Structure 1
Amino acid sequence: MEDDGVYTMQVERKSSQELKLKVIPYFTKNLKPLTTTEGKTVSIECETVESISDVNCIWFFNDNEINYSEKYQTTQSRFGCELKIKEVKPIDSGEYQIKIRNISRRTELKVQSYFKADLRPIPCVEGGECLLECEVTDNNMPAIWSKDGNQIETSERVQISMNGAKHQLKILNVNSDDCGDYKITVNNVSRQADVKVIDLISKPLTNMTCMEGLRVVLICEVADRQLNAQWSKDGIPIGDISNISINAAGGIHKLCIMQTYKNSEGQYQINVGNRNSSAYLKITAMPDFIRRMPLWDRERYLRTAKDGTMKRRHIRIMIVGKQSAGKTCLMRRLLNEEIDDVISTDGINVEVRRCKVRISDGQWIFSEEKCYRQDFDGKFKNAFSAKIHDNSNQEPIASANIEQLDFISIHSNAKEQQLDEDKTKALVRKTSVYMV
């Protein structure tokens, strides 16, 4: 078409007659821009001035050659060629081109989405509701819902509704069997969404063991923060009890027994929605030597066990090396002692020494004492502010029994300790405890 015009030839300043050239378009019917809606079949056509029966027509989409398939179908007549695109989708939007005898034409295709609002993946909480919604361009078009390829029918738990162009699927009392791939098909156009069901009780109760007199907390976490919970013990609902505190915040439900007694033992259960979780609380007996303490001392001990850990700033250092490497000399140098009388150590030498490091300035303070019993007793007395003795005028408990409190474990995890009464009694009989 660009070659249209008037042509002349000039030889020795003489010009020939004018020749008018008019190029006839090869395509008598050009490709036209198209706009359509998702799900429809689109036809792109063209016609030529000459027969193309024996000519190969090639179609392109975004400069990529289109191969014949169920989606793309081409037909060719004597003077025309057609491309059909079935059930178009938004991804089919783009530039289409036909090429015949090195002559080509191009056009644009725009495909509008049939769904105004798509389905989205939804996490559903066990025992709650699952709601799938979408909106299409046409009103009152029937929809088919399916799960994992199987059509869904309305039931007591499943509700299917349509309001104009909006479609809705609601599942009541959701459970783990409702997980899957859900699809809605309207006017041969589909959308899919993956539905996952989250356990209502994300962290169930766990069995616990606690020593009599200590504080214990039962904890359960749920996914739905709006639900209320009901606690029970051995099948009997727990009401307003001064020794028990019940609270919930952010989906975390707690039952706190301020001070446990032997009758605190039992099966505890929490009911949330239509789900429940249970755990057994075992109460171990209070050791005799603690029970024999005066009431004030015993209560002080129990408070200490509830509040946290006792800081013990003692470390063990082991010096290891080959024979005659200088291990003993190194130890003496560290303890600021002379090394003139050092002799080779035969076998393994165990020495219990004590030194302190002042935290404020890092200064080492050395002592000739070889046991820290006195220091431990002092800390114990500071913690309890009283010497442990019997209420009655029975024989006082031996001072060596003080170390047994370390066995009872004054720490926040005391509720997880399982105290063996026989083992405790055996330890109490010991007359000394050595700590390195």
Structure 2
Amino acid sequence: MISLPYSNLINAGAVLTLVVSCISLSIIIPINVIADTAVTFTIPLKETQTVEGDAVTLECQLSKPDLKVAWLKDGSEITPSEQVHITTDGTWQRLTLPHTVLDDEAEYAVQFNDQITKATLWVEEAPVRITVPLPQTTTILEGDTTTLQAEVSKEGAETAWFKDDLEILPDVDEKFDIAIDGAKHSLTIRDATIDDEAEYTIEVGTESSTGALLVDEVEASFVVPLRDQIVKEENDVTLECQLSKPNQAVKWYKNDTEVVPTEDVEVIAEGTIHKLVLKNAKPEDAAQYSVRLGAVTTEADLTVEEGAVKFIMPLQETSALEHQMVTMECQLSRPDQDVKWLKNGEEIKPDDIHEVSVDGTFHRLTLKDTAVDDEAEYTVTLGDDNTSAKLFIEEIPLQFIVPLSETTVEEKQSVKLDVKVNKNNVVLNWFKDGTPLEAGERIEVTVEGCAHTLKIHSAVLTDDGQYMVTAGIAVTEAPLHVTEIPTEFINPLEDQQCTEFQDATFSLQLNKPNKKVSWFYDELEITPNEKYEVSSEDFSYTLKINDAQMTDAGKITAKVDDISCSADFIVNELDVLIIVPPKDITCSEKELVTFSCELNKPNVDVTWSHNDKPLEHGNVFEMRVEKKMRYLTIFSAQLDLSGTYTVTAKDKSASAKLTVDGKYQSFNKYDFF
């Protein structure tokens, strides 16, 4: 027999090869070796059901630990990823899907050599939910476009939109546009009208969300006003304007007299366009014409030209420095002619800056204080003829002529920071410590000509800082110092008194809000609880003592910063009252009898007596106390226990009679005491 060491056994699957090595001979002998123990699945995979989106784990157990297995899905090997986690824990093999999808439904298998276990994973589709509903109310102006949006729990979900109870079909009505962006579903409503005001609903599955759309009506206005016109005598002329809304009833006026249609006067309305057609114009047709819609109006002058007048000296291109006076002039071939001055096509109305003058055949426009926006093309019109020229304005640099100055203010006082620039009505920017300031409840910004003021009402400590004003590239800055005022009692504590069991309130008022006030009872600091309620609002601070007891009387003190105030708390004892007296009782002999009464407060000692003789607790009588109730029980009524029973609480008493029916028992009732 040949003896071989175990180290000479080489694993060759189910067959082991034995190598025998001798001094001069090598022999290879194939041997079949039976493994110590076959690997088996001690706990197979189990059929599992889950809901889409949930996490799920499939697991099985092998008879040996730390073995490498293959996981299969519908016969195909699974590769671990962020969506698939494969782990081994000793003999346990696990596959986890952290977020299941419908495609995860399949037959899963675990294979080790020729051993395999299989089970089916069923994935139930999750219902689609509305995760972000429509806004409850959306308000827009008539003519605006708005979008209503909701978000659902699943991308690609089918939804339906409704206006009130009627489904919206964008293919039928071009006013609406339905869009889907992942899980976001939106409905766009174009050019809203009053008829679009309704409740809009989105439905997905069994869920829905509804929001109201409110459309504020916009008053009609003239988007294209009447324009002055000049017409030659006997020619037709049309005055025309346009409103922002169609189907509006307007009235035409000639020099404040309503126009009545005739053969030569035609009034036309075409949607938003309104026209007045004057046929065969006559000199008497020259007037100011206006169109009125309620309080809204537009007007223009109609001139009926009698003859041709020419410009013999046109306007000339002119340049001026900002804030200078400049005059533009032209000359006509005939005096006493009415002309119009226009700036970039808009008629110039004389005012404090624009002065229009006529000197024979010369017509002049004088700008007394030029501004940058006066740079434009100026035109003089006369009938169909006109002359135009450019006016150029050279801007002067914006500068501070009065800069910011360092300022100090006491807390709660108002303060003004003033600057002046070299131009009127320009926009300045205010900053505090580099942060832009905006007007609000405490901060007021005013402009008066070239003077600009920042007013801070009721200054607080946080207003302290570096303030800066910018005007174009010009900058001025200075510090503002806010000095703190000491804390003071505006209304200190006052003595309070109340009756026992009532509530009492101590209040004080400081000159500052949001201060930490500490409350004390006879030098012992009070901790807020059910007994003591501490509150504050603005400048008022309050301590409420609930259900006052006689022991609560003492000195109440409030301390804040380094000041304090105190007041006495007096608790008056409540008089004892018997609010429900005992009632008369009739009973049979040997029956158990109980008298009861109710006091107006607890913790009060009472005494009971029978025919004015005090009673004691014992075998015959039992006396009990329950909160405000007092009880006297007679265990076995006897004939000689009949009589008057009286309960006494301090200086108050109440009585009731006991009547015992039955045979007289011969014993002394007081033998039981």
Question: TM-score if structure 2 supplies the norm length?
Answer: 0.22
The structure that has the greater radius of gyration is 2
Question: TM-score if structure 1 supplies the norm length?
Answer: 0.31
Q: Which protein is richer in helix relative to its size?
A: 1
Of structures 1 and 2, the one with the larger relative CO (CA 8 A, separation 6+) is: 1
